[in-house]
């Protein structure tokens, strides 16, 4: 979901009271302390309203959780990422915190742990209570491979109790298989039916583009270290420590330094008009809105007739529509401008061959960059995993692996014939 700027992503603790098989959160009792006073000084008590996402580990096990929520919501909004297991703390939260100052309660139902602890009913009742008190909630369910046999029953049961589950992809290795790539096609419908928006999220590449992260966006770790954003926790993105009083926000937007933006880049990067159209087009494309994507890429082309990203992407859309004459014309135009780009080279060849399974759309976010090495790795990976045979994986592919330069149109075109 979009989180309004300015925004802080704050991990209150690395510890958790649960032991989900797909997570390595520490079981230690949280010892982390931080200077709430200093944080409040930084974000201020003036008219600017920040959104602070409190996450972990498990934020509710932080001994100061209610006080922190109370202090922050005096002048700001909070968003909570929690397993919602500490029902004693949950009851205090409902009593003490004004739902108007809570953007959303992002809650996770970790069913295996819930069942072990006999806590499913209490979880459901507490979420219903939250909703009744006026809090906006989302209940997430991780599609761990071990849970796939029971997910239908869990969804049906929770629905019957008035809770909609939002399936989330499991990212990790299980039985020597890497997920989400290893999901079977049959898993796809969960994402489409219940979590359509997450199908279309993507990691972006804004490297080199100026970003307001470090001014309007921060990541605070449980030890007080502050970084400009969750995606850039490198030494270069380090802004000091909130407990030591050494934290200094940036005063001017700096170029993004990392090749993958997993978070709130689209809301924080400073794009020119052409780039904005390219980005809007890509987002529309990822949502399956091809007409909108076409409109945006045409707008980019109007502004810059040499926009090889727009030309390339429009050529792919033409191929998708099987207008091979137009596709050939556009891909040749893109090639004429940027013949060195591997994506453009490949598309030109493929369009000439009418090879509809392999067309690629440029990762157009950053026209100043082209990550060819990654694109090649990507293609090898696709070949290896035989992505073209699995539509579900197509979606995952778009979502997960289009970071560097490309996403691929897969056999959907062939199926339309």
Residue ranges in contact with ligand SF4 by CB under 6 A: 16, 18-20, 23, 25, 56-58, 83, 108, 110, 206, 211, 213, 217, 228-229, 231-232, 256, 258, 261, 263-265, 268-269
Minimal distance, residue 107 CB to ligand SF4, in Å: 10
- Pick between residue 226 and residue 342 the one whose CB is nearest to ligand SF4: 226
- Pick between residue 13 and residue 195 the one whose CB is nearest to ligand SF4: 13
Report the distance separating Cα 268 and Cα 66, nearest Å. Answer: 30
Report the distance separating Cα 400 and Cα 300, nearest Å. Answer: 25
- Pick between residue 232 and residue 296 the one whose CB is nearest to ligand SF4: 232
Place of tokens 């539509």: 391
Minimal distance, residue 259 CB to ligand SF4, in Å: 9
Minimal distance, residue 27 CB to ligand SF4, in Å: 9
- Pick between residue 13 and residue 313 the one whose CB is nearest to ligand SF4: 13
Minimal distance, residue 24 CB to ligand SF4, in Å: 8
Minimal distance, residue 101 CB to ligand SF4, in Å: 24
Task: Please check whether residue 278 is in contact with residue 297, taking contact to mean a CB–CB distance below 8 angstroms.
Answer: yes
Minimal distance, residue 284 CB to ligand SF4, in Å: 20
Phi-psi region of 176 (alpha: psi -120 to 50; beta: other; left: phi over 0): left
- Pick between residue 39 and residue 258 the one whose CB is nearest to ligand SF4: 258
Backbone angles phi, psi at 331, to 5 degrees: -70, -35
- Pick between residue 204 and residue 387 the one whose CB is nearest to ligand SF4: 204
Minimal distance, residue 231 CB to ligand SF4, in Å: 3
Minimal distance, residue 110 CB to ligand SF4, in Å: 5
Task: Please check whether residue 320 is in contact with residue 330, taking contact to mean a CB–CB distance below 8 angstroms.
Answer: no
Q: Which two tokens stand for residue 178?
A: 């890497």
Task: Please check whether residue 307 is in contact with residue 300, taking contact to mean a CB–CB distance below 8 angstroms.
Answer: yes
Task: Please check whether residue 285 is in contact with residue 277, taking contact to mean a CB–CB distance below 8 angstroms.
Answer: no
SS3 160: helix
- Pick between residue 229 and residue 351 the one whose CB is nearest to ligand SF4: 229
SS3 178: strand
Minimal distance, residue 357 CB to ligand SF4, in Å: 32
SS3 143: strand
- Pick between residue 158 and residue 311 the one whose CB is nearest to ligand SF4: 158
Task: Please check whether residue 412 is in contact with residue 393, taking contact to mean a CB–CB distance below 8 angstroms.
Answer: no
Report the distance separating Cα 217 and Cα 212, nearest Å. Answer: 7
Task: Please check whether residue 105 is in contact with residue 80, taking contact to mean a CB–CB distance below 8 angstroms.
Answer: yes
Bond from prior residue into 276 cis (ω within 30 degrees of 0) = no
Report the distance separating Cα 403 and Cα 201, nearest Å. Answer: 11
Task: Please check whether residue 102 is in contact with residue 80, taking contact to mean a CB–CB distance below 8 angstroms.
Answer: yes
- Pick between residue 77 and residue 261 the one whose CB is nearest to ligand SF4: 261
């Amino acid at each position: 979901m979009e989180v309004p700027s300015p925004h802080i992503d704050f991990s209150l603790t690395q510890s958790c009271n649960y032991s989900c098989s797909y997570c390595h959160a520490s079981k230690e009792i949280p010892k982390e302390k931080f200077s709430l006073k200093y944080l409040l000084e930084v974000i201020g008590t003036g008219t600017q309203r920040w959104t602070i996402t409190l996450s972990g580990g498990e934020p509710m096990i932080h001994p100061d959780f209610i006080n922190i929520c109370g202090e922050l919501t005096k002048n700001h909004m909070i968003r909570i990422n929690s397993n919602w297991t500490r029902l004693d703390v949950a009851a205090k939260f409902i009593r003490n915190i004004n739902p108007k100052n809570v953007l959303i309660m992002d809650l996770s139902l970790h069913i295996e742990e819930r069942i072990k602890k006999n806590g499913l009913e209490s979880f459901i009742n507490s979420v219903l209570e939250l909703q009744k008190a006026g809090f906006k909630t989302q209940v997430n369910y991780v599609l761990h491979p071990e849970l796939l046999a029971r997910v239908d029953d869990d969804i049906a049961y929770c629905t019957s109790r008035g809770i909609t589950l939002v399936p989330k992809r499991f990212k990790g290795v299980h039985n020597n298989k890497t997920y989400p790539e290893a999901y079977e096609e049959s898993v796809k419908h969960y994402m489409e039916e219940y979590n359509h928006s997450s199908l279309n999220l993507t990691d972006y590449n804004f490297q080199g583009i100026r970003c307001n992260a470090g001014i309007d966006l921060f990541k605070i770790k449980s030890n007080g270290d502050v970084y400009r954003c969750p995606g850039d926790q490198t030494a270069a993105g380090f802004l000091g420590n909130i407990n030591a009083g050494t934290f200094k926000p940036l005063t001017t937007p700096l170029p993004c330094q990392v090749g993958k933006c997993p978070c709130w880049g689209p809301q924080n990067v400073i794009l020119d008009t052409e780039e904005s159209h390219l980005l809007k087009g890509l987002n529309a494309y990822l949502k399956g809105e091809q007409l909108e994507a076409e409109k945006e890429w045409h707008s980019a082309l109007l502004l810059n007739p040499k926009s090889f990203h727009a030309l390339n992407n429009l050529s792919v859309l033409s191929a998708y529509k099987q207008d091979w004459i137009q596709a050939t014309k556009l891909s040749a135009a893109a090639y004429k401008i940027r013949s060195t780009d591997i994506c453009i080279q490949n598309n030109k060849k493929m369009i000439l061959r009418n090879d509809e399974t392999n067309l690629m759309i440029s990762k157009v976010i950053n026209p100043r960059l082209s990550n060819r090495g990654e694109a090649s790795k990507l293609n090898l990976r696709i070949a290896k995993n035989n992505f073209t045979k699995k539509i579900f994986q197509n979606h995952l592919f778009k979502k997960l692996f289009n970071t560097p330069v490309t996403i691929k149109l897969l056999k959907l075109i062939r199926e339309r014939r």
